[in-house]
Every structure is written in structure tokens, then in C-alpha cells.
């Protein structure tokens, strides 16, 4: 096969016609010639009335030629000039016609015009300044600048607030209908929901709580020992675990393990039109999908807190005993004294609240996800982030509240 010659595109005037000459071999890998000269020729006076395409030793061609023909066509159409394509290869004309047809079908007119004017090189200072600003505000190509992101977030929040309140209300109604037994005959799968919410979380929660308790105990021993009050350490550890650590570990474990699962499950159901099928049968998705999952989490939350507390205390004791700074008898006695009902209740209430938050958030993002399989991943991602944030915020609010009611 002969080596490719370069494509050639020449523009000249012939009376009232702009003549575009196409020659050489056209190959996409060789790039496209610029068609800007054509527009320039059209705009010179006297104004031409038509455009003619001529071929001059035109060799092999591919879609690069068709693309350029389309550009020529659009340029002439833009200036209201007739176009004579009769000399272009018949095959290229046919392809161009199919492309036009496709453009009409999809209602986007075939638009492949080059940039209207040659790019003007911006001054260097502008380029550098822009680069610095975009570099600071931009985290990557797909991430909008900070200002835009903040704006979007505010608008989006405002737009979906009504929806979120609506969601809360519908969930409350569904929970009520479930508790008074009006929706039981649907077969709500409470057993499965409880199992999903509870049993599945046990292993990860044990590790989380044990490690948390151990680290807490280490720090408390060290710091309080330095202050000369090592005997306070076991008490501090027990109280923090009961009031805070056990519940927080539960909340985080639920968000990661169960919140993500719920969001994925409901998003898949939405994508598979299951939710539509429910609605078509006059079954509320809140009755059937949301209420059992949320209730299961609210019930399991406190139980999991008890479980997390035990492992947290075990972790604390493990460190206390192995570091050997306090006699074991005193350690146990001192820890035990701190285990009061008051502290325990604070943790249990938090556990239930975190269950509620995780359940609602998971269901919300699951049901509000898009209708395609790809939106499942996005729903899970958003749900986990929102659930963890929700748990931490609820924790702060409840801690303040407990302080206020002196629990």
C-alpha cells in the first residue's frame, strides 16, 4: 500500500463562488484541516452567493473527509449560501446524508462546526492567575470550583428540604400504621430486617468497641497517671464507654454496615421498578419497605449498645490488667462503681436514636436514587456519608440534651 499523502484543503474565489478544493489522502489519524479559511473567504466582499466543492487528485478518504464536508455545509448554511457537493465522492455524500438524517432523528442538528474564530492566546498573567485560582479551588477535573460547589449545595438543600420533611412525615405515619397492626398482612419481613440490622453488625462492632475501649484506657492511664490520679482512670474509662463510646461505635458500625446495605437494597429495588410495582398495587413503599427497616434499627440499636459496651469495657480492662499499674481488685471495684444505670440509659437512648438516623438516611437515599443500575453505587456512597454525619450530629445534640436534663 502506498504511503499516505497529506490531505489538502484550498480555498479560492471563482466569480461569485467560493471554491473549496479537496485533495490528497484523508485519514483521521492525520487530523482534520482547518475550515476557518472558508468562513473568512465567505465574509470577504464582494459577498459570494454559493460554495462549490472541487476535488483535486483526491485519493483515499475516511470520515475525516465527511466531517469536513459537514463543516463546509454548515458554514455555507449559516451564511445562507448554496452548496454544490456534486464533485465530492458519492460514498461521502451518502454518509453525510445518513448523518444529517441521524441528526434530525435525535433532534440535535448535526453540529460539528469548528470554533468560530481562531483561538486568541490569552496573556500569560491571565493563564497563570487562572491556573492558580482553579488549582486552589478545584480538586480535579470533575469537581466544580468551591464557590460553585457551595452554591449548588445550598440550592440543592433548599430544593430537597421539603422532600425530606415529607419523607419524615410519611415514615412516621407508616411506623404508626405498623405499630397499630394495620400493615402486618403485607408480610413485612421483620425477622429479616432485625437480623440484617443486628446479627450482621456483631463482628465489626466487637472489634470497634474493644479497640476503642483499649485505646481509651491506655490514654486515661497515661494522662491521669501523670497527674498523679491513676485511680480515677478506670472510672473515667467506664463512664466514657457507657455514655459515649459504645453508642458511637454502634452508630458508626450501623451506618457502614446496615445503612449502606439498606441504601443499596432500596436503590436496586427502585432501579428494578419494584417500587413502581408496589405503588401500582396501592401499597405504600413507606409501609412496606421503610417502616420495618427503621423499626428494626431502632429496636436493635440499644441492644447493640449493650453489646458494644461489654466489648468496650473488656478492652479497657484488658489494658488495665496488662499494664499492671493498678491492682486488679481495685481496678475492678473502681470500674464497677462507675457502672450506674444513669450512664447506661444515656448510651441506650443514643443507640436507639442512631438506629433511627441510620435507618431513615439509608431509606431516603435508597428510594430517592435514580432509575439506573449506576445510581445504586451513588446512593450507597451518599447514604454512608450522610449516615455517619447524621450519627455524629445526633450524638452532639443528645449530649447537650442530656446535660440539660442532667441525665
Partner 1 sequence: MTEGPLIEVRGLTIKGEDAVIQRGLNFTVGRGQIFAIMGETGAGKSRLIRHMVGLEPPAEGEVYYQGDGFWSGSEENRERLMRRFGVLFAGGALFSTKTLIENVAIGLRLHTDLNREDVIAVARLKLALMGLLGYENHYPSEVDEARRTWAGFARATALDPEILFLDEPAARLDPLGARRVDEIIRWFRDDLGATVVLVSNDHETLFSLADEAIFLDSETNTMTARGNPSYLRDHATDPKVRAFLGGGRV
- By CB under 8 A, tell whether 278 contacts partner 1: yes
Q: Which of these, 38, 36, 58, 65, lies nearest to 50 by C-alpha position?
A: 38
List binders of partner 1 among 169-198 (CB under 8 A): 185-187, 189, 192
Q: Indicate the residue among 268 and 310 with the shorter CB distance to partner 1.
A: 268
Q: How far is the CB of 254 from partner 1 (least distance, A)?
A: 20
- By CB under 8 A, tell whether 325 contacts partner 1: no
Q: Indicate the residue among 107 and 226 with the shorter CB distance to partner 1.
A: 107
Could you count the other beta carbons within 10 Å of the beta carbon of residue 389? Answer: 13
- By CB under 8 A, tell whether 297 contacts partner 1: no
Q: Copy the grid coordinates of residue 174.
A: 407508616
Residues 6+ apart with CB under 8 A from 240: 216
| Contact of 346 with 249, CB cutoff 8 Å | no
- By CB under 8 A, tell whether 279 contacts partner 1: yes
Residues 6+ apart with CB under 8 A from 314: 210, 213
Q: Indicate the residue among 35 and 270 with the shorter CB distance to partner 1.
A: 270
| Conformational region of residue 31, where left means phi above 0, alpha means psi within -120 to 50, and beta covers everything else | left
Q: Indicate the residue among 101 and 134 with the shorter CB distance to partner 1.
A: 101
Which helix (H) or strand (E) covers residue 255, if one does? none
Q: Considering only residues 1, 90, 107, 329, which one is a binding residue for partner 1 as defined by CB under 8 A?
A: 107
- By CB under 8 A, tell whether 268 contacts partner 1: yes
Q: How far is the CB of 273 from partner 1 (least distance, A)?
A: 4
- By CB under 8 A, tell whether 111 contacts partner 1: no
Per-state percent for the chain, helix, strand, coil, to nearest 5: 70, 5, 25
Q: Which range in 22-30, 164-172, 273-281, 342-350 contacts partner 1 by CB under 8 A?
A: 273-281
Q: How far is the CB of 284 from partner 1 (least distance, A)?
A: 10
| Contact of 190 with 292, CB cutoff 8 Å | yes
Query: Rounded to whole angstroms, how far apart are CA atoms 381 and 387?
Result: 10
* Residue in the structure block whose three cell numbers are 459504645: 246
Q: Which range in 26-34, 243-251, 278-286, 324-332 contacts partner 1 by CB under 8 A?
A: 278-286
- By CB under 8 A, tell whether 371 contacts partner 1: no
Q: Which of these, 308, 310, 312, lies nearest to 210 by C-alpha position?
A: 312
Residues 6+ apart with CB under 8 A from 239: 338, 343
Q: Considering only residues 242, 263, 269, 353, which one is a binding residue for partner 1 as defined by CB under 8 A?
A: 269
- By CB under 8 A, tell whether 159 contacts partner 1: no
Q: Indicate the residue among 41 and 283 with the shorter CB distance to partner 1.
A: 283
Angle at 388 between CA 387 and CA 394, to 5 degrees: 85
Q: Considering only residues 115, 124, 158, 280, which one is a binding residue for partner 1 as defined by CB under 8 A?
A: 280
Query: Rounded to whole angstroms, how far apart are CA atoms 306 and 349?
Result: 11
Q: How far is the CB of 268 from partner 1 (least distance, A)?
A: 8
SS3 state at 79: coil
Q: Indicate the residue among 173 and 283 with the shorter CB distance to partner 1.
A: 283
Q: Indicate the residue among 134 and 166 with the shorter CB distance to partner 1.
A: 166
- By CB under 8 A, tell whether 104 contacts partner 1: yes
Q: Indicate the residue among 105 and 403 with the shorter CB distance to partner 1.
A: 105
| Contact of 268 with 383, CB cutoff 8 Å | no
Q: How far is the CB of 362 from partner 1 (least distance, A)?
A: 15
Order of strands across the sheet with 8-14? 8-14, 17-24, 50-58, 82-84
SS3 state at 2: coil
Q: Total residues at the site for partner 1 (CB under 8 A)?
A: 21
Q: Which residues bind partner 1 (CB under 8 A)?
A: 104-105, 107, 185-187, 189, 192, 268-269, 272-274, 276-283
Amino acid at each position: 500500500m502506498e504511503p499516505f499523502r497529506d490531505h489538502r484543503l484550498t480555498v479560492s474565489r471563482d466569480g461569485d463562488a467560493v471554491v473549496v478544493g479537496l485533495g490528497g489522502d484523508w485519514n483521521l489519524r492525520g487530523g482534520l484541516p482547518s475550515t476557518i479559511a472558508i468562513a473568512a473567504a465567505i465574509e470577504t466582499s464582494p459577498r459570494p452567493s454559493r460554495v462549490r466543492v472541487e476535488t483535486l487528485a483526491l485519493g483515499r478518504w475516511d470520515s475525516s473527509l465527511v466531517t469536513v464536508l459537514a463543516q463546509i455545509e454548515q458554514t455555507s448554511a449559516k451564511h445562507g449560501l448554496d452548496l454544490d457537493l456534486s464533485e465530492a465522492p458519492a460514498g461521502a455524500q451518502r454518509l453525510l446524508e445518513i448523518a444529517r438524517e441521524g441528526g434530525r432523528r435525535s433532534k440535535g442538528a448535526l453540529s460539528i462546526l469548528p470554533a468560530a474564530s481562531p483561538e486568541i492566546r490569552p496573556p500569560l498573567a491571565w493563564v497563570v492567575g487562572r491556573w492558580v485560582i482553579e488549582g486552589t479551588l478545584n480538586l480535579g477535573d470533575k469537581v466544580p470550583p468551591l464557590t460553585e460547589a457551595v452554591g449548588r449545595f445550598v440550592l440543592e438543600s433548599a430544593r430537597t428540604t421539603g422532600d425530606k420533611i415529607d419523607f419524615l412525615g410519611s415514615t412516621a405515619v407508616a411506623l404508626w400504621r405498623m405499630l397499630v397492626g394495620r400493615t402486618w398482612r403485607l408480610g413485612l419481613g421483620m425477622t429479616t430486617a432485625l437480623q440484617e440490622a443486628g446479627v450482621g453488625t456483631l463482628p465489626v462492632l466487637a472489634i470497634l468497641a474493644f479497640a476503642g475501649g483499649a485505646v481509651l484506657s491506655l490514654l486515661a492511664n497515661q494522662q491521669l497517671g501523670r497527674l498523679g490520679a491513676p485511680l480515677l482512670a478506670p472510672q473515667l474509662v467506664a463512664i466514657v464507654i457507657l455514655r459515649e463510646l459504645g453508642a458511637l461505635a454502634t452508630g458508626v458500625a450501623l451506618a457502614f454496615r446496615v445503612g449502606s446495605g439498606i441504601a443499596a437494597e432500596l436503590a436496586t429495588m427502585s432501579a428494578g421498578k419494584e417500587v413502581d410495582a408496589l405503588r401500582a398495587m396501592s401499597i405504600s413503599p413507606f409501609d412496606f419497605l421503610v417502616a420495618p427497616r427503621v423499626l428494626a434499627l431502632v429496636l436493635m440499636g440499644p441492644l447493640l449498645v449493650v453489646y458494644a459496651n461489654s466489648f468496650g469495657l473488656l478492652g479497657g480492662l484488658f489494658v488495665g490488667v496488662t499494664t499492671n499499674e493498678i491492682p486488679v481488685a481495685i481496678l475492678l471495684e473502681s470500674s464497677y462503681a462507675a457502672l450506674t444505670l444513669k450512664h447506661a440509659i444515656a448510651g441506650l437512648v443514643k443507640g436507639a436514636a442512631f438506629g433511627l438516623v441510620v435507618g431513615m438516611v439509608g431509606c431516603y437515599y435508597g428510594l430517592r436514587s435514580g432509575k439506573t443500575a449506576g445510581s445504586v453505587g451513588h446512593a450507597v456512597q451518599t447514604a454512608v456519608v450522610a449516615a455517619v454525619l447524621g450519627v455524629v450530629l445526633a450524638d452532639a445534640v443528645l449530649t447537650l440534651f442530656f446535660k440539660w436534663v442532667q441525665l
